[in-house]
């Protein structure tokens, strides 16, 4: 039986191949733009969101035989994630020079190219989902597109980023910070998990459980990020550390204290796993992913 870490690595490798294949299929004469897109997407990363989607699809389909139906949806989520990181790193946003230990897109190329690379990756995500190769049922493809659009827009990442910028000049309390992070980080995580359920044809009971699981996981994931930002170095993270404190943002550690934030993350993960308890061992991969989300070092 394959262990969790080995399966996570296999899923990451499969996702990486799909991402590279979809990027290779892009045509046009804007070679600098294509290079910037590849740099942003194929520069490492644990592919956690992809793994969540693939794991949810396996659970829903009750099968580990063929992950190919989930891989294109997973790639679409990763394209959106990469686009958001490009834009997050821009001087007008978080002004970060490194990402995963490498130069940020706007540093290696330039700001205009980075903006266009983010734009192109966003549209590529939806192009990928709209293709018949992503799922034979057009209703499922439409549902996947809608999920990803909502998670990316004003009620999701874009809105969350706007609130994050406002947090630099306004005093956000704990409830406001949770709302911001559920939009900025949690929305795409929820989208990944729920999309996996769609691909795997989850029934109503499982869809409800996956939504509950993903909401708890999304908030725990961001608390873990705040803990890492507080306790790790830039070399360990592969990106600037301590940025929330420098920019005056009220993160979870600042509002709750380190120990309480750590306990809160663990409680959220326990709640996430409880949502999948009826599926017992079949949900083990997703439950291990949830634990990994708060024990990871980067």
Q: In the structure encoding, which two tokens stand for residue 246, read together? A: 């420098």
Among 185, 233, 239, 217, CA closest to 291: 217
Q: Are 33 and 105 in contact (CB under 8 A)?
A: no
Beta pairing partners, 102:
99
Among 253, 273, 254, 275, CA closest to 263: 253
Q: Are 129 and 144 in contact (CB under 8 A)?
A: yes
pLDDT in tens, 199-255: 999 999 999 999 999 999 999 999 998 898 887 655 656 656 556 666 556 689 889
Give the global pTM. Answer: 0.94
Question: What CATH code would you report for 4-295?
Answer: 1.10.600.10
pLDDT at 63 over 80: no
pLDDT in tens, 64-123: 666 777 999 999 999 999 999 999 999 999 899 999 889 999 999 999 999 999 999 999
């Amino acid at each position: 039986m394959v262990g969790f870490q080995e399966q996570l690595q296999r899923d990451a490798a499969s996702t990486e191949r799909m991402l590279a294949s979809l990027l290779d299929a892009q045509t046009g004469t804007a070679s600098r733009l294509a290079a910037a897109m590849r740099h942003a997407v194929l520069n490492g990363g644990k592919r956690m969101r992809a793994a969540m989607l693939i794991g949810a699809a396996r659970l829903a389909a009750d099968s580990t035989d063929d992950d190919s139906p989930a891989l294109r949806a997973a790639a679409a989520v990763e394209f959106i994630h990469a686009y958001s990181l490009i834009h997050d790193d821009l001087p007008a946003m978080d002004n970060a020079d490194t990402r995963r230990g490498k130069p940020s897109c706007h540093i290696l190329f330039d700001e205009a190219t980075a903006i266009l690379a983010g734009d192109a990756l966003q549209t590529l995500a939806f192009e990928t989902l709209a293709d018949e190769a992503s799922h034979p049922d057009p209703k499922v493809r439409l549902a996947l597109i809608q999920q990803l659009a909502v998670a990316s827009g004003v009620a999701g990442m874009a809105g969350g980023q706007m609130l994050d910028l406002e947090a630099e000049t306004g005093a956000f309390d704990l409830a406001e910070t949770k709302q911001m992070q559920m939009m900025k980080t949690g929305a795409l995580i929820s989208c990944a998990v729920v999309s996996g359920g769609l691909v795997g044809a989850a029934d109503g009971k499982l869809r409800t459980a996956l939504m509950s699981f993903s909401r708890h996981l999304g908030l725990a994931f961001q608390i873990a990020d705040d803990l890492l930002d507080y306790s790790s170095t830039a070399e360990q993270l592969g990106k600037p550390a301590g940025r929330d404190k420098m920019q005056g943002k009220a993160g979870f550690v600042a509002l709750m204290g380190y120990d309480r934030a750590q306990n809160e993350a663990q409680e959220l993960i326990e709640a996430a796993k409880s949502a999948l308890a009826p599926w017992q061992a079949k949900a083990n991969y997703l439950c291990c992913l949830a634990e990994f989300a708060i024990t990871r070092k980067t």
